[in-house]
Amino acid sequence: MSVILRNWKVLRLKPRTEKALADLFDACGIPRYLPVRTATRTYASKRKTVELPLFPGYVFAAFDDDQRREFLPRQNYILRIITPIAPIRMLRQLVAVRQMLREKPDFNPKGELKAGQLVRVKSGPMRDMYGRITRIQSRTQVMLHLDFIGKDIPVTMPGALLEIVGGQ
């Protein structure tokens, strides 16, 4: 396994500091990934499109001990640094998240999809990823639990792409 793949970490951050830490990593030349989604907000009757972190409170970055000593004293954002047990698996899931964010597929749920079901994504950018449907919102979105940070992610995709693999 290459050094860059071994050095990927999950960083748990103080609230609303994701973009500031990402900017610091960019300035230090440290590879990082901050998945964001766009949302429309209304401020004083003006609509504005903003980018919000997909995983609030988390940034993913690859750094070694020397780089850690360089940036750690320059910030006050990190609460915890988590080294994943399976970094390759985490990176595969992050690549799938990136592709999903790029494609933004539509979701047409089928009647048999229910909260609590274990599903596998049959095709598309998140192919072979497993998750548990924690809720179906407005019949347009399912929440899949991704294991690399133990969080739920809203995944929008055609119901035909989901294969039920277990019950509650």
Convert the pLDDT of each residue in 24-60 to its tens digit.
899 888 999 998 887 777 778 888 888 888 888 999 9
- What is the CATH classification number for the domain harbouring 148? 2.30.30
Which residue type sits at 106? D
Q: What percent of the chain has pLDDT over 90?
A: 21
- What is the CATH classification number for the domain harbouring 75? 3.30.70.940
pLDDT in tens, 96-152: 888 878 776 333 334 466 777 778 887 777 788 777 776 666 544 566 666 677 777
Range of the domain at 42: 3-83
Confirm if 53 and 34 have CB atoms less than 8 A apart.
yes
In a domain, 52, yes or no: yes
Cα-trace Rg, the chain:
18
Give alpha helix (H) positions in the chain.
Answer: 3-6, 18-28, 65-71, 87-103
| Phi, psi torsion values for 86, nearest 5 degrees | -125, 80
In a domain, 104, yes or no: no
Q: Which of 38, 63, 83 is the last residue of a domain?
A: 83
In whole angstroms, give the CA distance from residue 134 to residue 152.
Answer: 8
